[in-house]
Structure 1
Amino acid sequence: MADDAPDGLAESRELVRGAAKWFVAGLGAIGVVLVAGSQLSSIGSLSVHTARFYVALAGVALGLLAILWAMWRVVDVLSPRQWAFEDLVAEWDAAGDRAAPRGRPDQAPVGRYFRAHELFLGGFESPRAIQELWEVSPPDRAGFDDLVDLMDDLLDKAATIDLQHRFRRLRLQIAMGVLLGAAGILGFAWAANPGSPDDAPPSLRNASLVGVDFHGASLRSVDLTGADLTGADLADTDLAGAVLTDVTWADTTCPDGTNSDARGTRAPDGSVTGGTCLGHLVP
């Protein structure tokens, strides 16, 4: 019956289906781009004894499954529901009385719509009344063709309302699927591509740096545990994030220009104990 739908309703349905098709194309593109950014074979380079291996495995599984699930929900929108007039009558009954509708707002949306817009019923009190008249009317009855046209229009309107409702209901689910998919693939990309050891800051643990001139240099995030900085010049040196545990400070020029001995205790023989640059690390 709905094949002879008014142009406006047919265009409305095609608009919704067109948007759903773009959803499918967008989801496919997202999956391709995210996976292309990190080869699945990268998992093979990870040790099964590391957390990164399991994060990568979970990430790629979550990412691909979420995107496939979102695409499946889009396909649900693209699959048209075939409406019979009995379905419309059942929707009308399921919606309950207009003043006291039953169920959640997303239940029986077609019936709720027609109860709120009874003008579409062509003067009948309900779809059931239309069906009952059609069942007892012979084909040669005066006005029979008009009755059939009214039923056709109602079924076409019902199909359009149902499609729009399903699209609105699934938009959030589709968006959540996209977000979960992106999060999973990004988690996989992070876990499967650990940084190169060459990119790590150098370690100067227990190094003898006596008298070294670091003036204006960057020692950001460098491990200086146990290093001997006696007489070293650290003026204007960037020590942000550096590990300074058990460092030997003696006559050391701190980043702010202070001498480490100024924080210590000078003995009668001129030796200084307790000197430090801690508290003077910002140039």
Structure 2
Amino acid sequence: MADAASQVLLGSGLTVLSQPLMYVKVLVQVGYEPLPPTLGRNIFGRQVYQLPGLFSYAKHIVKVDGRVGLFKGLAPRLCSSAIGTVVHSKVLQLFPPDSSFPLQPGASKKEPVSSLEQVLKETSREMVARSAATLITHPFHVITLRCMVQFIGRETKYSGTLSAFATIYREEGILGFFAGLIPRLLGDILSLWLCNMLAYLINTYALENGVSTMTEMKSYSQAVTGFFASMLTYPFVLVSNLMAVNNCGLAGGLLPYAPTYSSWLDCWSQLHREGNMSRGNSLFFRKVPAGKRYVWEERRFR
């Protein structure tokens, strides 16, 4: 219990600290650009037109809503973080690390599993735990995103967590709480497997044992492969967030910012055609989209 409580407290602290970052990222993901591009220099010193980065974007939000405005959607996100941590921990307890996974009747522990087999079992175990946590907390995730996107149209439709639950159920039914769930689950699962398998391959075949430097490098391989996997699976995150706010009655989920997508696959294909699969992935050194022009009245590129 003490361990679970400490994890919840740590997760809550990290959630509060990262809230402004996520807020800006979500607004960029939906295509909202409140500030016009400015002439700056890239890392090579060349003059290019750049979009405002994280700090300029955050300053604009503070100018409009004050510093408290940077924390819109924090309450449901904290609920999601706390509940997700507890669910994740409880599911892992159901499948101890030394148990055979998946559990099979009559399974015996005759021989120690190979390194690869252990990685497969541990990854499967973690996949189930993460998926369960995502499934349970996704309604809070949807509310968080919609609270943030209200900044675009200055709406107050989702003003509280409980009232937001009532609004979504009244207008969209149960399915409304799970908008964007499929691409989010797929992205989480793919990212987990890519991260763990790449780390296993690097530790097994690229780094030799017995050398202190190599041992230290192995400890960092998981973080490096995790970053690489998150980059590859970012389109799933983008599509999931767009589907969570799409056609929900907010300005950020309607034209001109987003068409009404028939499914997440439709959203994926349209983003791919427009070359927007990585929109919002970087909040620094943001280049003006090629072939696009900034429309001040709409605060977006088209």
Shared fold, TM over 0.5: no
Of Structure 1 and Structure 2, the greater helix share is in: 2
TM range (shorter): under 0.3
Between Structure 1 and Structure 2, whose CA radius of gyration is higher? Answer: 1
Give me the TM-score of the superposition, normalised by structure 2: 0.22
